[in-house]
Structure 1
Amino acid sequence: SSSWCYIVSSEWELPGGGGAAWAPARRAIDSDLGQLAGLPLLNITRHRKRNPSFVCKASADRATVIMSVSVHENRKSRTSTGSMNILLFHKTSHPDCVLSHLNTFRKRCVFTDVTLWAGNRSFPCHRAVLAASSSYFEAMFSNGLRESLDDEVNFHDSLHPEVLELLLDFAYSSQIIINEENAESLLEAGDMLQFHDVRDAAAEFLEKNLYPSNCLGMMLLSDVHQCRRLYELSWRMCLVNFETVHKSEDFNNLSKDTLLDLISSDELEIEDEEKVFRAIIQWVKYDLDKRKVHLPELLRNVRLALLPSKCLKEAMACEDLIMADERNKLIMEEAMHCKKKILQNDGVVTSPCAKPRKAGHTLLILGGQTFMCDKIYQVDQKAKEIIPKADLPSPRKEFSACAIGCKVYVTGGRGSENGVSKDVWVYDTVHEEWSKAAPMLIARFGHGSAELENCLYVVGGHTAVAGVFPASPSVSLKQVEKYDPVSNKWTMVAPLRDGVSNAAVVSARLKLFVFGGTSIYRDLVSKVQCYDPVVNRWAIKAECPQPWRYTAAAVLGSQIFIMGGDTEFTAASAYRFDCETDQWTRIGDMTAKRMSCHALASGNKLYVVGGYFGTQRCKTLDCYDPTSDTWNCITTVPYSLIPTAFVSTWKHLPA
């Protein structure tokens, strides 16, 4: 059954048939070879052989091993030692040959012991082959179920006869043809009957044949049958192609929860939020009596303040679904109020209805002709150009920049006189003007910053040492500050577990994450530190794959992407960190080695710009597509621009 056997021979004749003299040889064979290959001793023959040796032979369908094993002869018959030779024979084609014969037996109804029915067709089979191919059939035939005793198993109409025939052909031949017509059915049947290899192969085929026209159906199919990668690819394609997806019949048949997941996602790529609004109205009207109760919840997940004022007014005045429920009216009125507040620059707006999706963001680069930053540039993604926008009021280097809504916050850094600053400058992208916010509590540079629940956090870095030359840094700071734009006040929060500077700082899943950095001892750090604002506490979340500093980080959903670094091993590398499972995955390397580069996420893709390695500056703005695990150059950065920060802000709102 294994296609292996031992043939053992002795070079002498043993009196009395061998007897106890063979025991050492048997033990040697069973312990040494039997454990190696898991094979029984099948046959022992005795004949004389003058020159025992060790020989290996191989051919297309067989492998032969002859080994010399020394044993002691029975003392009563002989006092000398002899040798035993073992032939280990393996015919590699034997399993295929057996399977082929079984398939022939099946087709001729020879030795079959069970008949499967699907529709009006019958399929005589061998229980042993079915049980060996599928844990579904193994459980059916071995756990005392009725089918284990019956001669027939009837699937009725739950399984198409042609699909069952394909699965049986696979069980008896290890081959199956998957095409566009049968892939979905094979995935479903493979999952149902636990032909997992077939299910996974069908899922892989569907991954390669995923289009905007079928991605929604594939997402629903893969969710039911737990094909995680197919689900993730389908989900991302739905987000990227929502304008096409919402016109399909599958969209009208979505569950309320799945629709909510789609329209609430920041990664939903849509330039006109009005189309999202029209899509949920369409979905509700498809089954009005059952679905109208869900409209208030759906409306709360549309970015209504991004709709044109005319559209909002018409919906409130003319749309029967809106007018029929006071809850809907209140939601629309709140959206109108938020819109006016933003357009009039009347304070900070934190309402979810006014938060643009990532595809509705503007990419801004802060930089200058040297590492002293003096200007803001805008990335035109369609034209693939980098356009100068505004001058910084106070040029600086080694600062940190972070966007909240339509505003960019530039914190700390060092000015032209090398003094360490605690200043905070704010750039309003709607009105294109600068203003000053309350200064930080500690002057710092080489720090990181991130937005979390509409507040700004600054983390780590260096500060000036009193009584020392201004350019001299302190050890890496543990202190973390929080800024509330509404009150314009800074407060201290829990300090880092380990003080760091030049670390990558991002927020994800309502927590702050700090990757690597330079420690207080000037060493490279290999820890992931995580801050939970609910309990005001930092914890060591995980270890980095390698020590890091001068890296960049960006967030897509629960995935944090880390790239670059200041060593030969980290400069071109990129990793993905799942902040829910704390697991690392290596992704495709960047197109160039980058130290001190800058990254962000926009529209389901990552963008990285700037950096250098050795004496070489990186002059490209590159884009990473997580669905294909590939990097591509978007445009070339002007030679006169050295990027020192990279942020993503809300676009201008439609009037």
Structure 2
Amino acid sequence: MHEKTDSRMDLKPKPLLDVFHYKDPEQPSQLLTQLNLLRQQQVFTDVLLCSDNIEIPCHRNVLASSSPYFTAMFCHNFRESQQQKVRLKGIPSGILRSIVDYVYTGSIVIIMDTVVPLMQAVSMLQYARLFEACSHFLQEQLSPENCLSMIRLSDILQCGSLREKAREMAVQNFSDVSTSEDLCEMSLPELLRYLEDDGLCAEEEQVFETLLAWIHHDPFSRRGAISDLFQKVRLRFIHPTYLFQFIASDPLVQSSNLCSEIIESVRRLMFSVSAKCGSDLKPLWVTPRRYTCRETLVLVGGRKNNEQTSREALLFDQGTHRWRCLAKLPLRLHKAAYVCLHSVLYVLGGLTMNTELNAVSNAVYTLSLKTNQWRTAEAMVQPRFAHQSITYLHYIFVLGGLGLDMQLCDTVERYSSMFNQWELMAPMPTAVLHPAIAANDQRIYLFGGQDAMQNPVRMIQVYHIGRNLWSKMENRTVKNVSAPAVVIDNKIYIVGGYTRRMIAYDTKSNKFLKCKNLKERRMHHAATVLDDKLYVTGGRFINGHDVIEDSDCFECYDPKTDAWTSKGTLPYKLFDHGSLSMVCVSNRPNSP
């Protein structure tokens, strides 16, 4: 038999604690409370802080332990270490009393009426945390109306955190701040720093108008600053009409030889149809956009849900990854062309769909994201639809399509934003419908397409913009119809076109490179470039049963990794639409 064992014998006694670390959480506050009572009862107080006509009893050791200023005063061989009364000049008595209360209680009430003298006093007495508390209080009071005066105040107080926040508000609210009296009171160095800030939330036209307003506030002493200020305007991103008709004719600009030379250099650059500039203009011309001018994706027109031609215009909010509705097109247009020039969206021609008799149009409609309103612009020379359009520098080119007689045409016309007029250019060597089109290095490239009998055309047609001349070459690699093309790093990417293929044409080596295929045979889709990546939207595709379907696809291709990723879906199925990258001004990070 087994003996029963008592389970209690298996329990081992817990070891005794040799050390117990105890921390009383209430001790610091209770100590402060008792020290404050001793101060109020004047027990052990050994120094009087004096200001105006008041004397505040304190303990030297408490003051010395609270601030480097008092540490130096009482713990070194300064005369105050032996004095019973210490006079603090320049500190109002009420402020001094509040600071002493703060030292003994850790609490203080900060109000707008006294925050500035309080900050000056605590800066002198070296209470860093209280100084930053005051700075935080002022930051909470910031508004577009007072941010410039707060910047000046921060300089007086030598408060970096306040200056940073006030400046941030100033650059993000440029429209409100630029019209304020405070801006006109800025010194020239201050204004120069302000206008050269990459984060300035402004269009360059407004930057120019702001510097004019500043000069006109005191023209006698400031007119000489026009040359320095003018170089802060990023002329490359100003609409040519505004630049050559308004800025160039301004008396202040004309009074400066440097300004006149800069404008003339820009004029020569644009007339030469060259994207390259001379060394004299390069420092100004290559300055990038301010980073508040963000590119965003806009879709417009097309055929929606295979039901009807759409009047919709959508903007993709990169912050929320949602689509936002813009103002609707004035009318339904079938197979119009869509381009963006100088941050303005252009809808060109098309077949009008809101009348009993459909009519071929030469009308041009424009949309600015700033106003979100459609306007009519100078009409094209010829009515057309199913045509191609592209921009280069300050030009819009319109090529081919179907004309009034519904016949395929070879005509080309060009719009100059400098002169706001259209003119006919040299016609295409071979009229084609639905080619892929791209512009690079003073040339427009047309790849493939189909002829009047709807046969694929295996050809590259090249238009030299400066010479107004065409050339063409047969190429068996080209076999696209209804495919978009985009340019990234001197390579023209042709995306699909009744095929899954995507190929890149290297304009320097005159060679084609194979890229990662699309998932399906795609056509009538749209493509654009954002941040050096290719975005493809909508279109039609041929499924596994050789049936054509409409698509709501939204995909991105990265040339660096040769990989496709899905960006979700469009709000509806869409094809024959425009997809454009447009610049808009935003003071919200990562959003348009």
For normalisation by structure 1, the TM-score amounts to: 0.46
For 2:233 and 2:478, how far apart are their aligned partners in 1?
52
- The residue type equivalent to 2:232 in the other structure is M
Instruction: Answer yes or no: is the 8 Å Cα contact 2:394–2:418 preserved in 1.
Output: no
In the alignment, which of 369, 394, 413 is matched to residue 481 of structure 1? 413
Superposed displacement of residue 303, structure 1? 11
For 1:616, the equivalent position in structure 2 comes to: 549
Task: Measure the CA separation in 2 of the matches of 1:560 and 1:339.
Answer: 26
The one of 563, 569, 591 aligned to 1:630: 563
Residue from 332, 337, 342 that aligns with 1:400: 337
Alpha-carbon displacement from aligned partner over 1:164-220 (angstroms, at most 9, x marks no partner): xxxxxxxxxxxxxxxxxxxxxxxxxxxxxxxxxxxxxxxxxxxxxxxxxxxxxxxxx
Q: 1:607 to 1:464 in 2, by over 3 A?
A: same
Hey, what's the Cα distance between the residues in 1 that align with 2:236 and 2:430?
46
Inter-partner Cα distance in structure 1 for 2:322 and 2:425 = 40
Is structure 2 residue 495 aligned with structure 1 residue 563? yes
Residue 364 of structure 1 is matched in structure 2 by 298
Specify whether residues 542 and 387 from structure 1 end up closer, same or farther in structure 2 by C-alpha distance, changes over 3 A only.
farther
Instruction: Give CA-to-partner distance per residue, 1:392-423, whole Å, 9 cap, x none.
Output: 00111111100002211111111114321111
Name the residue aligned to 2:533: 605
- Aligned pairs for 1:22-421 (under 5 A) are 328-332=228-232, 356=289, 360-367=294-301, 368-369=304-305, 370-416=307-353, 417-421=357-361
CA contact (8 A) 1:355 1:405 kept: no
| CA contact 2:240–2:394 (8 Å) conserved in 1 | no
List runs of 5+ in structure 2 lacking aligned partners: 1-170, 172-195, 216-223, 249-262, 268-284, 542-546
Match of 2:583 in 1: 650
Give yes or no for the alignment of 1:457 onto 2:397: yes
Identity %, equivalent residues: 22
* Contact kept in structure 2, 1:399 and 1:446, CA below 8 Å: yes
Pairwise CA distance, 1:632 = 0.6
CA 1:528/1:305 → structure 2, altered by over 3 Å: closer, same or farther? farther
Q: Give, in whole Å, the separation in 2 of the partners of 1:487 and 1:541.
A: 34
The code of the aligned residue for 2:533 comes to K
How many residue pairs were aligned? 341
Query: For the residues of structure 2 that align with 1:302 and 1:496, how far apart are their CA atoms?
Result: 44
Q: Which amino acid aligns with 2:316?
A: V
TM-score, normalised on structure 2?
A: 0.51
Is the contact made by 2:445 and 2:462 (CA closer than 8 Å) also made in structure 1?
Answer: yes
> 1:334: Cα distance to partner?
6.9
Q: How far did 1:445 drift?
A: 1.0
Q: Is the 8 A contact 2:552 2:570 kept in 1?
A: yes
Q: Aligned in 2, Cα 1:389/1:334: closer, same or farther, shift over 3 Å?
A: closer
Pair 1:502 & 2:439 matched? no
1:491-530 aligned at under 5 Å gives the runs: 491-530=423-462
Whole-Å separation in 2 of the counterparts to 1:441 and 1:305: 35
Partner of 1:426: 366
Matched residues in 1 for 2:470 and 2:236: separation?
Answer: 39
The C-alpha deviation readout for 1:211-259, integer Å capped at 9, x for no partner, is xxxxxxxxxxxxxxxxxxxxxxxxxxxxxxxxxxxxxxxxxxxxxxxxx
Change (3 A) 1:490 1:339: closer
Instruction: Work out the CA distance in 2 between the residues paired with 1:337 and 1:645.
Output: 23
- Whose relative contact order is higher, 1 or 2, with alpha carbons under 8 Å and at least 6 apart? 2
Q: 1:382 to 1:334 in 2, by over 3 A?
A: closer
Q: Following TM superposition, by how much is the alpha carbon of 1:309 offset from its aligned partner in structure 2, in angstroms?
A: 5.5
Change (3 A) 1:491 1:624: same
2:81: which partner in 1?
none
Paired with 1:355 and 1:488, the residues of 2 have a C-alpha distance of 26
Q: Tell me the CA shift for residue 647 of structure 1.
A: 1.1
Q: Is the 8 A contact 2:503 2:514 kept in 1?
A: yes
SS in 2 for 1:601: strand
> Aligned letter for 2:483?
T
Tell me the secondary structure at the aligned position of residue 232 of structure 2: helix
Per the alignment, do residues 615 and 509 of structure 1 end up closer, same or farther by CA in structure 2, a change over 3 Å counting? same
Looking at structure 2, the residues matched to 355 and 410 of structure 1 have their Cα atoms a distance apart, in angstroms, of 27
Question: Is the 1:306–1:354 contact (alpha carbons within 8 Å) kept by the matching residues of 2?
Answer: no
Kept in 2, the 8 Å contact 1:305–1:335? The answer is no
Query: In structure 2, what is the Cα distance between the partners aligned to 1:426 and 1:621?
Result: 25
The residue aligned with 2:522 is 594
Structure 1 residues 426 and 654, CA, compared in 2 at 3 Å: closer, same or farther?
Answer: same
3-state secondary structure, aligned to 1:442: coil
Structure 1 residue 653 displacement after superposition? 6.4
The amino acid that maps onto 1:332 is K
Note the C-alpha offset of 1:355.
Answer: 7.4
CA RMSD of aligned residues (A): 4.3
